């Protein structure tokens, strides 16, 4: 079997940086509006009044300070609270394909590769724009890549599951090089009217280029020592948006057609699952956790990452060992751990090891153990 390396990564960051104070101001204006409109029903005890959000709570509970959004005006308009992203003509490049192409070009350039060197494209993300044609095939066409492409969705773990699919294809000789991209517009499926979650997500796109180690031309490569995936069904993070919605009118427009979660339960159940997963994966590869230089973890909650790192290392991790990007990007679903890797991978010296780890809805957990070449 061929050895596989990551030879390039890319990141597309949307143009609109939005601070906690801005999302809170919009949310609180919406609350004032709602409570005024419902004043009679609230006074009669028929409707619960909405409660304001606070920027201090958000930073303390999550570690998030700001997020990047594809559109901020629509989100920050209390009369709308949804990004304004006009649908494009079928002949035009779709918005997620545009994000993917931007991130992919950076990954290709880092790897010193051209479209003709790539045999396979995977788009792996939480929210796809349509059932078909596959977004991955649109990205493949836009970049001028031959071979084949497909979409996959494992929520926040889409990127690590995508990496394993790419590794398998390269190891078996089905592809020389694979481009795996994660265009996430989380803001389009986030309920900005929900106090518990209106601050959680941001938008971004990442790209990872994987190829045969013996054919890589970049001097800056990371060998994939192993991948490990796990899933366990849970209703604690859920989104009921889907093609069957139109078959039952009673559900149309209901909040559960957007992102919903039991945040506390997720925290309690997922942290141990992820800690054990990483330890077991390292054990399988005969690597001691103390010999790992960096953990590029999924970026959902700062306390969650600190707890997972403690479970794996048996002590606090420094910011060099478990880099944080969610303060700036918030939770960008599958892109989060790859943003951390992309922005902090250069800290590793030759033969240093690191772990990319994602976790989220499903539940799903994915880890990728890497060694700097
Ligand atoms: N402002 C002020 N106070 C608030 C707010 C707010 N906005 N929200 C809640 N509070 C209050 C509550 O009312 C509560 O008050 P009280 O104690 O008086 O009852 C108190 O704060 C505590 O509330 P919580 O218990 O809800 O708060 P937590 O400390 O648990 O923090 C978090 C909430 C930050 C959500 C935290 O639970 C968390 O981060 N959990 C982990 C979540 C996680 O990792 N989820 C992963 C999901 S991502 C994924 O899998 C991908 C899905 C696909 C993406 C789709 C894109 C949309």
φ, ψ for residue 29, nearest 5 deg: -65, -40
Which ligand 1 atom minimizes the distance to the CA of 126? 53
CATH of the domain at 271: 3.40.47.10
Does the residue 193 lie in any domain? no
Give the sign of the dihedral formed by CA 226, CA 232, CA 236, CA 237.
positive
| Ligand 1 near 155 CB (within 6 A) | yes
Whether 256 is covered by a domain: the verdict is yes
Each residue's pLDDT tens digit in the chain (373 positions)? Answer: 999 999 999 999 999 999 999 999 999 999 999 999 999 999 999 999 999 999 999 999 999 999 999 999 999 999 999 999 999 999 999 999 999 999 999 999 999 999 999 999 999 999 999 999 999 999 999 999 999 999 999 999 999 999 999 999 999 999 999 999 999 999 999 999 999 999 999 999 999 999 999 999 999 999 999 999 999 999 999 999 999 999 999 998 899 999 999 999 999 999 999 999 999 999 999 999 999 999 999 999 999 999 999 999 999 999 999 999 999 999 999 999 999 999 999 999 999 999 999 999 999 999 999 999 9
Count of H helices and E strands in the chain?
Answer: 11, 13
DSSP class of residue 317 equals: P
153 C-alpha to center of ligand 1: Å? 23
With the most atoms of ligand 1 within 8 angstroms of its CB, the residue from 31, 61, 239, 334 to mutate is: 61
Q: Which atom of ligand 1 is nearest to the CA of 186?
A: 56
For ligand 1, whether the C-beta of 189 sits within 6 Å is yes
Catalytic residue numbers?
156
Q: How far is CA 120 from CA 140, 219, 224, 355, in A?
A: 8, 22, 18, 24
Q: Ligand 1, closest atom to CA 127?
A: 55
Give the closest residue to 11 by CA, choosing from 128, 126, 134, 105: 105
How far is the centre of ligand 1, averaged over its atoms, from the C-alpha of 127 (Å)? 21
- How far apart are the C-alpha atoms of 95 and 139, rounded to whole Å? 11
Q: How many CB atoms lie within 10 A of CB 281?
A: 23
Please name which of 223, 191, 179 lies closest in space to residue 348, comparing C-alpha atoms.
223
| H or E element in which residue 260 lies | strand 260-261
CA 93 to chain centre: 22
Within a domain: 67: no
Q: Is 360 in the pocket of ligand 1 (CB under 6 A)?
A: yes
Which tens digits make up the pLDDT trace of 65-80?
A: 999 999 999 999 999 9
**Residue of 312, 323, 292 whose CA lies nearest to 365:** 312
Would you give the distance in Å from CA 54 to the centre of its chain? Answer: 25
For ligand 1, whether the C-beta of 241 sits within 6 Å is no
In a domain, residue 239? The reply is: yes
User: Per the domain annotation, does 248 fall within a domain?
Assistant: yes
Q: Which residues contact 212 (CB under 8 A, 6 or more apart)?
A: 2, 3, 4, 5, 170, 176, 177
Measuring CA to CA, which residue among 164, 190, 156 is closest to residue 336? 156
267 Cβ below 6 A of ligand 1: yes
Q: Is residue 3 situated within a structural domain?
A: no
Q: Is residue 30 part of a domain?
A: no
Domain count, the chain: 1
Q: Which residue do the tokens 């290709």 mark?
A: 108
Ligand 1 centre distance from Cα of residue 367 (Å):
25
Cβ of residue 22 lying under 6 Å from some atom of ligand 1: no
Residue 358 structural domain: 222-372
Ligand 1 centroid – CA 233 distance (Å): 20
Predicted model pTM: 0.96
Sign of the alpha-carbon dihedral angle for 81, 24, 337, 230: negative
Check if the beta carbon of residue 179 is closer than 8 Å to that of residue 135. no
| 189 domain-assigned | no
In the chain, which ranges are continuous DSSP H helix? 20-37, 39-43, 55-62, 73-76, 95-111, 135-143, 158-171, 263-284, 302-313, 326-329, 335-344
Closest-CA residue, ligand 1 atom 6, reads 53
């Amino acid at each position: 079997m061929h050895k596989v390396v990551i030879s390039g990564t890319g990141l597309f960051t949307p143009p609109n940086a939005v601070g906690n104070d801005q999302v809170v101001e919009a949310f609180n204006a919406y609350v004032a509006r709602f409570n005024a409109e419902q004043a009679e029903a609230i006074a009669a005890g028929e409707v619960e009044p909405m409660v304001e959000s606070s920027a201090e709570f958000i930073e303390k509970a999550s570690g998030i300070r700001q997020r990047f959004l594809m559109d901020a005006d629509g989100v920050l308009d209390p009369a709308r609270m949804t990004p304004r992203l006009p649908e494009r003509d079928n002949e035009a490049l779709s918005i997620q394909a545009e994000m993917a192409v931007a991130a992919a070009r950076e990954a290709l350039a880092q790897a010193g590769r051209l479209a003709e060197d790539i045999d396979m494209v995977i788009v792996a993300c939480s929210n796809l724009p349509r059932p078909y044609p596959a977004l991955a095939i649109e990205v493949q066409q836009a970049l001028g890549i031959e071979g084949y492409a497909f979409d996959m969705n494992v929520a926040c773990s889409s990127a690590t599951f995508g990496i394993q699919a790419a590794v398998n294809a390269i190891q078996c000789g089905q592809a020389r090089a694979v481009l795996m991209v994660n265009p996430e517009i989380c803001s389009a499926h986030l309920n900005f009217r929900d106090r518990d979650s209106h601050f959680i997500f941001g938008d971004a796109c990442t790209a990872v280029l994987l190829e045969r180690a013996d054919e890589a031309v970049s001097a800056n490569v990371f060998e994939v020592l192993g991948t490990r995936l796990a899933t366990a069904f849970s209703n604690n993070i859920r989104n009921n948006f889907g093609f069957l919605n139109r078959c039952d009118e009673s559900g149309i427009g209901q909040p559960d057609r957007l992102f919903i979660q039991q945040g506390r339960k997720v925290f309690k159940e997922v942290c141990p699952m992820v800690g054990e997963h990483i330890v077991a994966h390292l054990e399988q590869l005969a690597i001691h956790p103390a010999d790992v230089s960096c953990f590029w973890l999924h970026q959902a909650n700062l306390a969650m990452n600190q707890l997972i790192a403690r479970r794996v290392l048996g002590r606090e991790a420094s910011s060099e060992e478990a880099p944080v990007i969610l303060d700036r990007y918030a939770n960008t679903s599958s892109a989060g751990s790859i943003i951390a890797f992309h922005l902090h991978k250069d800290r590793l010296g030759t033969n240093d090891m690191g772990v990319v780890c994602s976790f989220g809805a499903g539940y799903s957990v994915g880890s990728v153990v890497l060694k700097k070449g």
